[in-house]
Structure 1
Amino acid sequence: MGVQKLAVACRVLALCLATIGATNPGFVVRITQAGLDYAHQHGVRILEKELGQLKLQDISGDFRVLRVGKVRYEISRLQLHNFYLPHSHISLVPKVGLQVSISNAFADLSGNWRVKIYFIRDHGSFDLKVENVYIKIDLQLGSDPLGKPTIDTSACSTRIANIRIRFSGKFGWLYNLFHGAVEPRFKKILESQVCELVARSVSRELQPYLRTLPVTAKIDARAGIDYSLVAPPAATARSLDVDLKGEFFSLAHRSAVPFSPLPLALPPDHSHMVYFGVSSYFFNTAAFAYHAAGALVFNVTEAVIPEGISLNTTTFSAFIPQLERMYPNAPMTFRLSAPSAPFLSIGPQGLSLQPVVDVQAYAVLPSSEPVPLFLLSLTSNVSAVVDVRSGHIVGSLKVGRIKFTLKQSDVGTFQVRQLQSLVNTIASSILIPQLNERLKEGFPLPLPDRIQLSKILVRFHQNFLLLGADVVYQPRE
């Protein structure tokens, strides 16, 4: 009985540890087969160019020929003219990574030869055609301690089906001698060097390019986004999924977010090259970071309000008669602030939030600190429109009917509802436009260098926003 209890306790402990150690992403990037095919096209062109620059060492040796004796040969000044990769395919290997298969590749080489048989010497040039080359490359995907993606060649094999050499020189019969001695060596050397070059190309070209994926993105002077990987990229039968932290943080003082991301399961859409799953956690950490940085504070003075409204105690005495007696014709200011970070919800109908805004009114007296007058609490249903422009998530807010209550008054009692139209004007003409001006700049998506998005799709799901797009790679000129 004691053993059984111990076993149950161990299983419970293991489950708890697994739960604690699990990290849900706040942001998911899904690359579909179409996206991999597009990337593969550019990668194969780079590999083809690299293979075309292979440097081959001189070859020398000797062999014995029946009734002829020992033949000494030298192959020098080998030059690879072209290496063509006409047929290739990239495939997903679940729980492993990616596999690139190249078939029916071919290459053209030329060089010089020299031979010595006893007292006979001859030399000349040759052309060599490498045909039906098959290359298979396994790519292992991972992440480093900083959360940047990594890629490595975990396996590579090359098989050359056929090599044909055409020699020039005095003695045509030497071709038959070279055929048996040289072609196997060419095959072995090329097969080895192709895989060595593939590994170098992945390390020199592909890995540095992947590292251009930003794991942190500075938004402005107050906040940044953490796009570090929370797990190595996961290959499934139909896509490559990359789980990112997807968390905003204050640049001045980064503190732990007091809530966690919910599990994020993208729908099985594959009509676009890439999808971005943007959870409500992502947006809510933005609100948390900006609130912590003191950015959700707005000061309203007469200089920023619409023309025709004088922001002073004389104007407000129509609603609060005692103001004119207490502070005659004194300028007024308002300080708008969020007592807590607003919480955004995402559902099939879109994005919405119900922010609470405190509005503190002050009278500005000559040669003194502003004098507090009253404090209002505003609430409203706010909807958001989201789009993608120039690789940034952009948006705008639309405010519904505003409700407000009087939280504190330093000037006595008054009818709060009479301030309704003025409060609406301040919110709709000042607060929302300032927020929308910031949202118009947007927040950058995690994109590697020289990638642009097209054919943007925006869909809303429970607790997350789904963005779909095709990609266009812009090479350096």
Structure 2
Amino acid sequence: MDMEFRGAFFPLAQGNWSLPNRAVEPQLQEEERMVYVAFSEFFFDSALESYFQAGALQLSLVGDKVPKDLDMLLRASYLGSIVLLQSPAVIDSPLKLELRVVAPPYCTIKPSGTTISVTASVTIALVPPNQPEVQLSSMIMDARLSAKMALQGKALRVHLDLRKFRIYSNQSALESLALIPLQAPLKTMLQFGVMPLLNERIRRGVQIPLPEGMDFVREVVTNHAGFLTIAADLHFAKGLREVIEKNRPANTMDSGVPSAPPPSTAAA
């Protein structure tokens, strides 16, 4: 059975929204496995665009949520600004680290691996109780994440690692120079403090709609230029006829009751 799907995500608030598909068309040459599924860069780009449009690509850590080592590093780096506040209540207040993606991320798939490019704003502030927060710094972060794809059960899961990292000020070139010593330790702190939080959020992955009683076995994920493929055999925990009968749609034509329209979804 050879079927082609658009493979697009869209924000639920904009059901007719569409992202132009500029990805290459996957070409499958192998025939050794029972099932081949191809995902182009468009599949991942449309998902990233949808999450960006929905405002989901942001992370705010306050107080105890900020890793302790990162809290100490940031307080030491901005010690001069903190001392100038001259208010003990503000100086000892919890630290806030906010990351907000400012443009839709995009995915690049090559035979050597998959990367996701992200540009985000990073805001560091103190949050005194019952007072307005005091901003210490605002900067721009350009990051390239390596994405390792794996098929686990019936879900395509992604594990992200911070590969390249650069920060610079969006206010002045002088402040950008002052941020250079922060780059290496901040990258390390983000890798071990923030990336695990991001991976936990996306741990569920993308569910592949296989019927109950049918599973992938001997699955292999392979990168190509512009797309990746999943090759697998199928294992039937039940008899094939039983699986077909159980998942056969109910015949509503004889009952005279019109079928309900399908619910709104986030993927097409």
Q: Which TM-score bucket, shorter chain as reference? A: 0.7 to 0.9
Letter in 1 for 2:215: Q
2:55 paired residue number: 294
2:127 paired residue number: 364
2:80 paired residue number: 321
Q: 2:66 aligns with which of 297, 300, 305?
A: 305
Q: 1:390 aligns with which of 150, 153, 166?
A: 153
Cα gap change, 1:338 to 1:249, in 2 (>3 Å): same
Residue by residue over 1:421-452, the C-alpha shift from the partner in whole angstroms, topping out at 9 and shown as x without a partner, is 45224421233112212333211113244321
CA distance in 2, matches of 1:353, 1:405: 19
Q: Higher relative contact order by CA 8 Å / sep ≥ 6: 1 or 2? A: 2
CA distance in 1, matches of 2:117, 2:24: 24
CA distance in 2, matches of 1:432, 1:254: 31
1:256 paired residue number: 17
Q: 2:194 aligns with which of 431, 434, 459?
A: 431
Query: Would you say the 8 A contact 1:319–1:415 is kept in 2?
Result: no
Cα gap change, 1:255 to 1:337, in 2 (>3 Å): farther
Query: Would you say the 8 A contact 2:9–2:47 is kept in 1?
Result: yes
Residue by residue over 1:45-92, the C-alpha shift from the partner in whole angstroms, topping out at 9 and shown as x without a partner, is xxxxxxxxxxxxxxxxxxxxxxxxxxxxxxxxxxxxxxxxxxxxxxxx
* 1:458 lines up with 2:238 in the alignment: no
* 1:352 lines up with 2:115 in the alignment: yes
* 1:277 lines up with 2:38 in the alignment: yes
CA distance in 2, matches of 1:413, 1:471: 54
Within-5 A mapping of 1:8-407: 240-254=1-15, 256-308=17-69, 310=71, 316-326=75-85, 327-407=90-170
RMSD after superposition: 2.5
CA distance in 1, matches of 2:156, 2:176: 45
For structure 1, the 5+ residue unaligned runs are 1-239
Query: Would you say the 8 A contact 2:24–2:40 is kept in 1?
Result: no
1:303: Cα distance to partner? 1.2
Letter in 2 for 1:364: V
CA distance in 1, matches of 2:47, 2:198: 13
Letter in 1 for 2:131: S
2:263 paired residue number: none
Cα gap change, 1:380 to 1:351, in 2 (>3 Å): same
Cα gap change, 1:340 to 1:348, in 2 (>3 Å): same
Query: Would you say the 8 A contact 1:319–1:414 is kept in 2?
Result: no
Residue by residue over 1:316-349, the C-alpha shift from the partner in whole angstroms, topping out at 9 and shown as x without a partner, is 2544513221253332201101101210011111
- Identity in percent: 23
Query: Would you say the 8 A contact 1:302–1:311 is kept in 2?
Result: no
* 1:441 lines up with 2:204 in the alignment: yes
CA distance in 1, matches of 2:133, 2:15: 32
1:467: Cα distance to partner? 0.7
Determine helix, strand or coil for the equivalent of 1:395. strand
Letter in 1 for 2:67: P
Letter in 2 for 1:459: T
Normalised by the length of structure 2, the TM-score is: 0.78
Letter in 2 for 1:352: T
Larger Rg: 1
1:244: Cα distance to partner? 0.6
1:77 paired residue number: none
Give the total of aligned pairs: 234
CA distance in 2, matches of 1:309, 1:277: 40
1:370: Cα distance to partner? 1.8
1:311: Cα distance to partner? 5.7
Normalised by the length of structure 1, the TM-score is: 0.45
2:249 paired residue number: none
Determine helix, strand or coil for the equivalent of 2:64. helix
